[in-house]
Amino acid sequence: MTKTFSQFEPGEKFATKAKTITPTDIDIFARITRCDDRMFLDEEFAKSKGFKTRLAPGALTFSVAIGLLEQSGHIDDVLAYMGANKLWFTAPVHPYDILHVEGELLDKRITKDGERGIIHYKWVTKNQRGETVIEAENTCMFAVHPTWLS
């Protein structure tokens, strides 16, 4: 069974499985979001702008990172995603890049009503070369577990 963030203590680290970004992922995401910049869909155009090949939209990279966090089971008891701070896209993502997320729980606290918890964690998404491509700090609301109150 995967440990959820509400079971983590500040300073604990985690990692997700990986996902390969395919050309089809980029095509579908770009079209359904109307994020159809030529750098995402046209390899030759992206090369003319100095990139090795076309790019994945940053919003796709962010969405994949959140999906990998969801899939990991660490945020299974989430009630609300409250936001991301210090969000930076630090390197381009290309077709066939393999991404995974690494992170650390920064803090957690019980809300005043005692019914929910607030978790703050930092995370980085890295490619197959270990390069950070996106980083942020997220804040989420979780259901309170009895272990929090001991």
Tell me the pLDDT tens digit for each residue of 71-82.
888 777 888 999
Confidence label for 10 from pLDDT (cuts 50, 70 and 90): very high
Is 5 in contact with 21 (CB distance < 8 Å)? no
Q: Which residues pair with 105 in a beta bridge?
A: 121
Q: Give the pLDDT confidence of 105-115 residue by residue, as tens digits.
A: 999 998 888 88
| pLDDT score recorded for residue 17 | 96
Q: What structural domains does the chain harbor?
A: 5-149 (3.10.129.10)
Statement: the pTM of the whole predicted model exceeds 0.95: no
- CA-closest candidate to residue 135, choices 83, 62, 64, 27: 62
* Strand, coil or helix: 24: helix
Q: Give the pLDDT confidence of 46-104 residue by residue, as tens digits.
A: 999 999 999 999 999 999 999 999 888 877 788 899 999 999 999 999 999 999 999 99
Strands 78-89 and 132-143: antiparallel
Eight-class DSSP state of 21? P
